[in-house]
Structure 1
């Protein structure tokens, strides 16, 4: 299973993820990045710089596979709309 490293860039400061996470593939990286971002943003009251932070996710070859601004985690996910038989949705 491939390993991905979630490095946090806050201004000029970088918090390096030395251990990484084993994930099935790159398709699940975004979800894990969003979950981590939400956890980090819970502390944004004590450190407003977190609102400017970015997660850089790298693979084992140190190639960046995702650049994820923490504030992107605050955007609502699309909600599936129920379908009705031939009627309009209200």
Structure 2
């Protein structure tokens, strides 16, 4: 099974994932990235700082599989969603 590494980029700082996680495919890595970001954002003290962060997922070969901005993992309640009329 492929191994994916989840590195958090916050401005110029990087929090590296040295061990990674074995997952079935890039879709599973996307799901894990979304869950990881949402868990980090549950702490209100982290929210403002992390809204500019990005989770960069890489494979065993060091290739970027996806870049997931923390701000894209936020789900607004229907009454606050600007796309709803």
Output the TM-score relative to the length of structure 1. Answer: 0.78
Structure whose residues are more often helix by fraction: 2
* Structure 2 gap ranges (5+): 77-85
What does residue 59 of structure 1 align with?
A: 59
Point out the structure with max Rg over C-alpha. Answer: 1
Equivalence for 1:3:
3
Deviation at 1:38, TM superposition (A): 0.0
Match of 1:68 in 2: 68
The residue correspondences of 1:1-90 to structure 2 (distance < 5 A) are 1-43=1-43, 45-47=44-46, 48-75=48-75
Superposition RMSD in Å: 1.2
Following TM superposition, by how much is the alpha carbon of 1:72 offset from its aligned partner in structure 2, in angstroms? 0.9
| 4+ runs deviating over 4 angstroms | none
TM-superposed deviation, 1:30: 1.0
How far, CA to CA, are the matches of 1:72 and 1:30 in structure 2? 12
Using the alignment, how far apart are the partners of 1:41 and 1:53 within structure 2?
11
Unaligned runs of 5+ in 1: 77-90
Q: Distance in 1 between matches of 2:42 and 2:10?
A: 15
